[in-house]
Structure 1
Amino acid sequence: MSDMSNTGDKGGGSPVRRRLVVTGSHSGIGRATAALAEALGWSVIGLDLAADGRRVGGELIAFPCDLTDEHSVREAFEKVDEEWGGHAPHALVHCAGIYRFKAATGTTAADWDAVVNLNARGSLLVAAAAARRMIDAGEGGSVTLLSSIAAVRGDAGEPSAAYSASKGAVVSLARQLAVEWGPDGIRCNVVAPGVIDTPMTTVSGDPEAFAQVLRRIPAGRLGTADEVARVCLFLASQDAAYVNGTVIAVDGGQSAS
């Protein structure tokens, strides 16, 4: 993946650092993606509800953003515009999400709204904000959304109708955006993680549940946030220039078993 890093040329061949927005940049897959991108030479700006606008190690700066709120998303991207001098991002990796497990018969409208609003509505709001800038710049770009293998597999052990539905919506949304924005040179793809060792993972605290999960994963272990981040950055990079509208599972083979 030689092109995962800073690869752009402008004018007479002078190098241009590729610009990346990462949501959910303060933890889990988002944090790993932002850190790896920065290490590879990307110019990275994070968006996270817990951010305060200060730099978080190295050069990474993260702005506060409630991704369910249209006004908050607009304000956050205005700060991104200011930070980058009006230049559009080359790529967006949208990692922010929420996971709550509860049987469907016990799921309230409030439970549903909390999960679906962030995972599905938030995906549209942040993707559209990034794409508008890419379209105006006329240079194309990449949008990578995070779904889950829960979009295609039920789970009796940790049921979550809201989560599964929201992540299925992300896949459908990405395919629509790939078709709408493809003529503008903007690719939209999905990464669908399996059980990844992050703060969102709940089974690791229950030895019996953990053992059952491992038996369902051909790789025999949990994935790492860094492994997911590497796939996200591949899709963001020019190495994936002809990849559009696809879903890549990063699950150790679980969705194939």
Structure 2
Amino acid sequence: MDLNATLPRRVIVTGASSGIGRAVGDAVIDSGGRVYGLDLRAPAVPRDGLVSRTADLTDPAATAAAFDDAESALTGPPDAVVHCAGVYRWRPISEMTVAEWDRVMRINGTGSFLVAQAAARVMTRGAIVLLSSVAYGRGDAAEPCVAYSASKGAIVSLTQQLAVELGPRGIRVNAVAPGMIDTPMLTLGDTPGAVAALTERLPVQRLGEPADVAAACLFLISEASSYITGATIPVDGGYLIS
């Protein structure tokens, strides 16, 4: 099966200005699709096929307005939504404040809910992909991130519930759980030897690239995955089993 031939042509990507979100947007455009990119900041490098908007996706009104605008910008309802926007906070429970907890849960958890809700309102059929993390399934003693782990676990449960609710409407919902991906969010890069120590444990012996996660997202929004919904797929180089 030619994956490109089964990919949707109108795709909303959040967190599109950098990291995994940018890689997803680039991959969709390279396949011939059109991307409506949402982020708190504008992309550093505009390109053909990308319509960019700034939006606070923790704000219900702003999120709904952005999705309404997407229908006009894409000349039709979106065929797929890939929600990559999120935040990481390295903080053990003994040091984390309620304000920090609330911020992480609001951006990662409430943001995912609002994006999915807005997507369900404007989509007629298609696929939604949310970004969880391997943190949902494995604790991390080296870099404790209690709020992050909890928020990414919530996304796994949200994905399953949305798949049940939206499936009869022809909308599939899946999640991708990245492992250690080489993006600005990866704090291991600040610790000498930490990356080498980690990759030695991984079956694939390397860090992931944003393009690795983008490839999984494209599979999940394509017709090649038409019988997959409610799943969380690790893209982690074997981290969860190592």
Q: Per the shorter chain, which TM-score range?
A: over 0.9
Partner of 2:108: 119
In 2: Cα distance, 1:228 partner to 1:210 partner? 19
Q: Is 2:70 the counterpart of 1:80?
A: yes
In 2: Cα distance, 1:188 partner to 1:159 partner? 29
In 2: Cα distance, 1:220 partner to 1:55 partner? 31
In 1: Cα distance, 2:38 partner to 2:147 partner? 24
Q: Which of 186, 196, 200 in structure 2 is aligned with 1:211?
A: 196
For 1:47-66, list aligned pairs within 5 A. Answer: 47-51=38-42, 56-66=46-56
Shift of 1:83: 1.1
In 2: Cα distance, 1:7 partner to 1:161 partner? 39
Shift of 1:55: 8.3
In 2: Cα distance, 1:115 partner to 1:236 partner? 26
Shift of 1:6: 5.0
Matched to 2:28, the amino acid is A
Q: Which of 73, 83, 89 in structure 2 is aligned with 1:94?
A: 83
CA contact (8 A) 1:195 1:201 kept: yes
**Secondary structure at 2:38 match in 1:** strand
Structure 2: 5+ residue stretches without partners = none
For 1:66-215, list aligned pairs within 5 A. Answer: 66-85=56-75, 87-134=76-123, 137=124, 140-215=125-200
**Secondary structure at 1:207 match in 2:** coil
Residues 90-137 of structure 1: per-residue CA shift (max 9 Å, x gap) = 100000110010111101111101111011110010111111112xx3
In 1: Cα distance, 2:69 partner to 2:164 partner? 29
CA contact (8 A) 1:6 1:41 kept: no
Partner of 2:230: 245
In 1: Cα distance, 2:29 partner to 2:223 partner? 16
In 1: Cα distance, 2:106 partner to 2:22 partner? 21
- Indicate the RMSD between aligned Cα atoms, in angstroms: 1.6
CA contact (8 A) 2:68 2:122 kept: no
TM-score by length of 1: 0.90
Shift of 1:206: 1.5
Shift of 1:7: 4.0
Structure 1: 5+ residue stretches without partners = 9-16
Partner of 1:2: 2
Residues 183-211 of structure 1: per-residue CA shift (max 9 Å, x gap) = 11110001000000011111112223223
CA contact (8 A) 1:141 1:187 kept: yes
In 2: Cα distance, 1:43 partner to 1:69 partner? 25
**Secondary structure at 2:117 match in 1:** helix
CA contact (8 A) 1:45 1:80 kept: yes
Number of equivalenced pairs: 242
**Secondary structure at 2:167 match in 1:** helix
Partner of 2:208: 223
TM-score by length of 2: 0.95
**Secondary structure at 1:93 match in 2:** strand
Matched to 1:78, the amino acid is D
CA contact (8 A) 2:34 2:74 kept: no
In 1: Cα distance, 2:154 partner to 2:200 partner? 28
